[in-house]
Amino acid sequence: MSTFALAIGVGTQNKKGEWLEVYYPKPVINPSDELLNAVRETLGYVGGNQALSLNIALMHTFQDALEAADPAQAAVARELGQAEMHRKLVVTILEEDTTSTSTPEVYLKLHLLSHRLVKPHGINLTGIFALLPNVAWTNKGAIDINELPEAQLKAHVKGEILSVNSVDKFPRMTDYVVPTGVRIADTSRVRLGAYLGEGTTIMHEGFVNFNAGTLGSSMIEGRISAGVVVGNGSDLGGGCSTMGTLSGGGNIIIAVGEQCLIGANAGVGIPLGDRCTVEAGLYITAGTKIQVLDENKELVETVKGRDLAGKSDLLFIRDSISGTVKCLTNKSAIALNEELHANN
């Protein structure tokens, strides 16, 4: 069985020697036998999921072993071998994609997502919150929350500015990974572990959480919550929302299909198929009562939002007089009725 992933990284520890974060320039999925042999012979790796700490001297030895085995990783080791003494070097190996047991393992999985090496829901992220410390992300790097007052004092004494950009378990994605072919107007609104497809634009009010994102060209002016995946060609209007697994969606995986439009200040709490539109200001949840109309705008039946989950070519609107939520479709009354009840 092949090894799942491997990466060489450099990171930050607090004064207790606990990991705060790790940066992996070039993670690898399914590393070659030659690369794994170099890890075994140089670092004493004997199997399992491990984060192996290195000093500068050992990194140089590892670099020499990599020259023939994997020139690309040797180049990474060469660069990281120049790290300042307070920086911590690590080689993390995930033999299997199982529940993480260390902070370096979690950071590797988040890097794999943002490097587009795995897609959202394509990797085991069970239990990651307990392994991600709450960190002060500053212009001087990651600082342990308990060590922040001392760092601020030292900075002010020197007449320096220690700017705290955020206090969070997740850093900005762009401080670690900048995927090709994307635009991000406000980088603070995209967390490490987001997956952004080629051609995606994230406008100033757009937000993308970890284990979520876009699979192709999309214009995002709303929120892509944790676990939500948006298909190619779909647009999320200003201030709109997608209900994620962390915001009331439970274990339901919310997805938006291809060529969909969610209007400004609208939202979805059900998965959408392809070519669906939700009008501005309308929030569809699993329990929303919806009148389904056919191509002649005749009532087929009244259903709940969950009954329309994942279906394509739907237009959701709200009657301006009665407030009734309606769904128009190009399907015939008979065909739609059969499709609705086929899943019951």
Same fold, 5-131 and 173-342: no
Separation between Cα atoms, residue 194 and residue 338, nearest integer Å: 38
Q: What is the pLDDT of residues 31-50, one digit of tens each?
A: 999 999 999 999 999 999 99
Residue 248: pLDDT over 50:
no
Residue 341, pLDDT > 80, answer no
Q: What are 125-148's pLDDT values in tens digits?
A: 999 999 999 999 999 999 999 999
- The residue-averaged pLDDT of 261-278 equals 96
Share of the chain above pLDDT 90, in %: 87
- pLDDT tens for 49-86 read 999 999 999 999 999 999 989 999 999 999 999 988 78
Q: Find the helix packing angle between 56-69 and 33-43, rounded to 10°.
A: 150
For the chain, the structural domain boundaries read: 5-131, 137-168, 173-342
pLDDT tens figures, 306-324: 999 999 999 999 998 999 9
Q: What single-letter amino acid sits at 39?
A: V
| β-pair partners for 202 | 184, 220
Spelled out in words, what is the top-level CATH class assigned to the domain 173-342? mainly beta
Phi-psi region of 94 (alpha: psi -120 to 50; beta: other; left: phi over 0): beta
DSSP-assigned states of every residue in 95-142 = SS-----SHHHHHHHHHHHHTTSS-TTSS--TT-GGGS--EEEETTEE
Q: Domain 5-131: which topology? A: Alpha-Beta Plaits (3.30.70)
Catalytic residues: 221
**pLDDT at 294 (0 to 100):** 86
The radius of gyration computed from the CA coordinates of the chain, to the nearest angstrom, equals 24
